[in-house]
């Protein structure tokens, strides 16, 4: 607790603004990813080499199937138009392309030929300068949809989106608006199927001129220049609308064929012009309005932003993956080495008595089990229960037990740090064990915990806190976190001589070290972390003794868990900020600062902040990428985590049965933990003060039974 009454009078306004900011950011992120996924990875957009199969033709009017390649929508009746004799409209699909479109334009300029380019919206966004060059050099622009989607297979809302967005993009990029449309995968009028006619009719209602072809160069087959020329040469004097491509892969054969075809046909008297002039209709392309231009620029900006967002998220994903692998490897290697070094007993046996300080505030549910487990220790102990102004009769309950060697000190509610300092001042012995009022000790826990003090350089020892109420999914998840997360980290910190936290549930200290450090500070909500860091900076070595076990009561609901972890995380951030100066110090303080604070910043702050990126990409991949590949990667991730967990459980001699819930942990518990970190960081950045949030106790733990 912090400052009792002062904490209650401190500003405690719920920090809701950060959730609003997070929600807005999340909505923007989802919108950006949906836009990027739609434009780059939408299912159903096949290349021209794989046109969809058409089988039904019964609903197509004869005026269409036997009419010209240009379908006019500017009237109540269906009208079509055919190219004039000895005229050829070169029509280029799928561009613009940064390599082949400039070569095509150079070729057309050389031979004084005009053409019509049916551009794809996303390609226009990527190559706006090329689009403007097409228009500036007198060529005609038409639409080839937004993402090269098959209009025949789309619902009306997507048809509208494909046409409207490609139109806006063209207005923003080149300043023009065009009614010319070539549906992807279309060909000649006689090949129009029922599905195609559905798309054409919808486009007619929006005012578009659908431009089909009369001759296909088949350059998309890439069968050589001669084959392209053979497919492109007109027969007789009839005019043609010739389909070629300036994008969609290597178009060197197309460029080479056109370099032969254009001068050859011009020599025969053919004229190359735009679609509208070839079929004899008024120029349909007009300048875009001011509003169309700005809406188009807005759409282009949104697509560019979505690309940037995905690029940033990709690098963040790599960073999160790298940090996860580094942490897993480092903790496993350290745990293996630590288990070998601690396999034997400490060389000097410690037999001196110990003072156990138990700060208690409204702990009547579990205080009896905690006190009885302490006095049942196989090591001489003095137990001091400091009642911090409890209102539930905690002190009266302890006194009524009448257990020799147990003292009760009553004080006005002042907070946990003050209660601990009261107990430290009243301690009769040099070795002091601090324990929470909801924790039950194993009979040998105190004796095992104090054995490292045979080394005079050790100032504190962290014990092994176990989740006692591990029944139920939430209890199992916390049990896994204690064993895999906390305990593996402590082994690593022990080897690195940079232990940041001796847990309040089970920890031992030299009284002289505590007094030299000024006792337990009230500056942070994580008084145990703050105290441990102060001892490390003072030059004391702090170790982890995994054989000293205590059982603690974990939160039984997500709400209680949230409040507990929020306090832990926020308090840890406070302690890190308070002791940040250690990073630039020399000696033990500098070693602690650079190692411990660096680890905490990278793996307990930065990595949880990056963790949502993994989930975001998983959902993105399931929707827009290969879901099988995403699932395989997820299974690999869970398998690696499972192997690490199995090793951690083996080190702690725990049953592996709870690990069946590990995959489920990825969908609730992990998200809760990184949301806790996010809220803690926002709270810290906002400068808000967080009150002490005490967890409800249920007295679910019992005194361990001695087996010796």
Q: What pLDDT digit, counting tens, does each position of 190-228 carry? A: 989 988 899 998 998 898 999 999 999 999 989 999 999
pLDDT of residue 687: 65
Q: Walk me through the domains of the chain, giving residue ranges and CATH numbers.
A: 62-288 (3.20.20.370), 317-686 (3.90.550.10)
Which of 232, 187, 181, 237 is CA-nearest to residue 213? Answer: 187
- pLDDT for position 252: 96
Is the pLDDT at 22 greater than 80, yes or no?
no
Selected residue with higher pLDDT from 239 and 346: 239
Quickly state the pLDDT bin for 9 (edges 50, 70, 90). Answer: very low
Q: Is the pLDDT of residue 428 over 60?
A: yes
Residue 45: is its pLDDT beyond 70? no
Residues 6+ apart with CB under 8 A from 175: 132, 135, 287, 288, 293
pLDDT band at 33 (very low <50, low <70, confident <90, very high): confident
What pLDDT is recorded for position 11? Answer: 39
Task: Kindly name the residue from 127, 139, 148, 245 that is annotated as catalytic.
Answer: 245
- pLDDT, mean of residues 89-111: 96
Calculate mean pLDDT across residues 676-687.
82
pLDDT at 697 over 60: no
Averaged over 85-108, what is the pLDDT? 96
Task: Give the whole-number percent of the chain exceeding pLDDT 70.
Answer: 92
Q: Which of 48, 72, 93, 489 is catalytic?
A: 93
User: Nearest CA to 531 among 332, 359, 348?
Assistant: 359
Per-residue pLDDT of 494-522, as tens digits, reads: 999 999 999 999 999 999 999 999 999 99
Contacts of 333 (CB under 8 A, 6+ apart): none
Query: Which is it for strands 406-411 and 439-441: parallel, antiparallel or unpaired?
Result: unpaired
Contacts of 430 (CB under 8 A, 6+ apart): 352, 510, 511, 512
Would you say 474 and 558 are in contact if contact means Cβ atoms under 8 Å apart?
A: yes
Q: How confident is the model at residue 690 (pLDDT cuts 50, 70, 90)?
A: low
Q: How far apart are the first and last CA of the chain?
A: 38
In the predicted model, is pLDDT for residue 4 greater than 60? no
pLDDT at 342: 75
Q: Residue with structure tokens 């059982």? A: 551
Checking if the pLDDT of 61 tops 70, the result is: yes
579 is catalytic: no
Average pLDDT score over residue span 300-322: 91
As a whole number of angstroms, the distance between CA 39 and CA 31 comes to 12
- Nearest in space to 458 (alpha carbons), one of 370, 538, 554, 378: 538
pLDDT of residue 48: 59
pLDDT score of 702: 55
Residue 624 binned pLDDT confidence (cut-offs 50, 70, 90): confident
**Pairwise pLDDT comparison (621 vs 97), residue with the higher score:** 97
Q: Which of 42-56, 335-349, 466-480 has the lowest mean pLDDT?
A: 42-56
pLDDT value at residue 621: 86
Q: Which of 32-41, 173-182, 360-369, 560-569 has the lowest mean pLDDT?
A: 32-41
Read off the pLDDT band of 20 (50, 70, 90).
confident
Rounded Cα distance, 437 and 357, in Å: 10
Any idea which of 157-161, 588-592, 634-638, 651-655 has the lowest mean pLDDT? 634-638
Mean pLDDT of the region 40-65: 71
Task: Give pLDDT tens digits for 331-375.
Answer: 999 999 998 887 677 889 999 999 999 999 999 988 999 999 999
Half-sphere exposure of 565 (CA within 13 A, CB side): 24
pLDDT, tens digit (0-9, with 9 covering 90-100), for 128-138: 999 999 999 99
CB 214 within 8 A of CB 69: yes
| Residue 612 pLDDT level (bands cut at 50, 70, 90) | confident
Element (H, E) at 119: strand 115-119
Q: In whole angstroms, give the CA distance from residue 266 to residue 157.
A: 44
- pLDDT over 60 (residue 525): yes
* Tokens coding 501: 């936290």
Is 244:91 a contact under the CB 8 Å cutoff? yes
Supply the pLDDT for residue 17: 65
Q: Please tell me the predicted confidence (pLDDT) of residue 352.
A: 96
How far is residue 554's CA from residue 473's CA, in Å, rounded to a whole number? 12
Is 93 an active-site residue? Answer: yes
Please give the DSSP secondary-structure letter assigned to residue 152. G
| Interatomic CA distance for residues 583 and 318, integer angstroms | 27
Write down the pLDDT at residue 466. 94
Provide the angle, in degrees to the nearest 10, between the axes of the packed helices 290-341 and 17-41: 110
pLDDT greater than 70 at residue 649? yes
76 contact partners, CB below 8 Å, separation of at least 6 = none
Mean pLDDT of the chain: 89
What band does 2 get if pLDDT is binned at 50, 70 and 90? very low
Residue 74 in this model has a pLDDT that exceeds 70: no
The mean per-residue pLDDT over the stretch 460-465 comes to 96
Tens of pLDDT, residue by residue over 110-157, are 999 999 999 999 999 999 999 999 999 999 999 999 999 889 888 999
Instruction: Note the pLDDT of residue 225.
Output: 95
Other residues' Cβ atoms within 10 Å of the Cβ of residue 694: 15
pLDDT at position 451: 95
Give the pLDDT of residue 512: 96
Centroid of chain to Cα 135: 42
């Amino acid at each position: 607790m912090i400052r009792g009454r002062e904490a209650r009078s401190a500003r405690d306004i719920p920090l809701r603004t950060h959730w609003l900011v997070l929600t807005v950011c999340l909505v923007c992120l989802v919108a950006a990813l949906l836009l990027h996924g739609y434009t780059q990875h939408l299912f159903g957009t096949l290349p021209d080499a794989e046109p969809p199969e058409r089988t039904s033709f019964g609903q197509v009017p004869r005026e269409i199937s036997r009419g010209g390649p240009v379908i006019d929508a500017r009237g109540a009746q269906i009208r079509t138009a055919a190219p004039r004799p000895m005229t050829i409209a070169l029509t280029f699909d799928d561009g613009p392309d940064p390599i082949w479109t400039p070569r095509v334009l150079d070729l057309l300029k050389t031979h004084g030929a005009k053409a019509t380019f049916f551009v794809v919206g996303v390609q226009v966004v990527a190559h706006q300068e090329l689009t403007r060059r097409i228009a500036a050099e007198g060529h005609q622009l038409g639409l080839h949809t937004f993402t090269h989607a098959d209009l025949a297979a789309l619902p009306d809302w997507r048809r509208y989106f494909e046409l409207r967005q490609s139109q806006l993009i063209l207005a923003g990029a080149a300043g023009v608006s065009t009614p010319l449309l070539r549906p992807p995968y279309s060909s000649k009028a006689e090949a129009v199927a029922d599905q195609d006619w559905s798309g054409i009719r919808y486009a007619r209602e929006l005012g578009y001129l659908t431009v089909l072809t009369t001759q296909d160069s088949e350059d998309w087959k890439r069968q050589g220049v001669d084959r392209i020329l053979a497919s492109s040469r007109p027969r007789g004097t009839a005019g043609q609308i010739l389909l070629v491509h300036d994008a969609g892969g290597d178009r060197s054969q197309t460029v080479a064929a056109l370099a032969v075809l254009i001068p050859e046909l011009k020599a025969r008297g053919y004229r190359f012009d735009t679609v509208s002039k070839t079929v004899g209709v008024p120029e349909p392309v007009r300048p875009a309005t001011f509003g169309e231009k700005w809406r188009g620029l807005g759409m282009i900006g949104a697509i560019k932003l979505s690309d940037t967002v995905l690029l940033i998220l990709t690098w963040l994903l790599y960073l999160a993956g790298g940090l996860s692998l580094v942490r897993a490897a480092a903790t496993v290697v350290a745990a293996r080495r630590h288990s070998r070094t601690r396999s034997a007993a400490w060389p000097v046996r410690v037999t001196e008595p110990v003072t156990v300080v138990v700060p208690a505030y409204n702990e009547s549910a579990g205080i009896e089990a905690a006190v009885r487990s302490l006095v049942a220790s196989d090591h001489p102990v003095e137990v001091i229960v400091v009642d911090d102004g409890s209102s539930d009769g905690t002190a009266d309950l302890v006194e009524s037990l009448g257990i020799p060697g147990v003292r009760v000190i009553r004080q006005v509610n002042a907070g946990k740090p003050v209660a601990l300092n009261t107990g430290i001042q009243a301690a009769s012995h040099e070795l002091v064990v601090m324990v929470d009022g909801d924790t039950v000790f194993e009979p040998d826990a105190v004796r095992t915990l104090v054995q490292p003090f045979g080394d005079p350089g050790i100032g504190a020892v962290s014990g092994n806190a176990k989740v006692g109420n591990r029944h139920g999914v939430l209890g199992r998840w916390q049990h896994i976190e204690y064993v895999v997360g906390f305990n593996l980290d402590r082994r690593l910190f022990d080897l690195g001589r940079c232990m940041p936290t001796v847990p309040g549930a089970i920890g031992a200290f030299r009284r002289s070290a505590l007094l030299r450090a000024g006792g337990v500070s009230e500056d942070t909500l994580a008084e145990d972390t703050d105290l441990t860091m102060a001892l490390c900076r003072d030059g004391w070595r702090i170790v982890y003794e995994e054989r000293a076990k205590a059982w603690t009561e974990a939160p039984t609901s997500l709400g209680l868990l949230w409040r507990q972890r929020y306090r832990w995380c926020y308090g840890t951030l406070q302690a890190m900020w308070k002791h940040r100066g250690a990073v630039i110090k020399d000696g033990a303080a500098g070693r602690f600062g650079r190692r411990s604070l660096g680890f905490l910043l990278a793996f307990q702050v930065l990595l949880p902040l990056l963790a949502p990126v993994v989930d975001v990409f998983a959902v993105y991949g399931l929707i827009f990428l290969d879901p099988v590949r995403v699932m395989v990667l997820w299974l690999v991730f869970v398998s690696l985590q499972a192997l690490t967990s199995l090793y951690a459980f083996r080190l702690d001699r725990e049953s592996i049965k709870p690990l069946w819930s590990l995959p489920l942990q990825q969908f609730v518990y992990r998200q809760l933990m990184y949301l806790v970190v996010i809220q803690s960081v926002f709270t810290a950045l906002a400068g808000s003060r967080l009150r002490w949030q005490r967890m409800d106790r249920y007295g679910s733990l019992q005194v361990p039974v001695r087996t010796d």
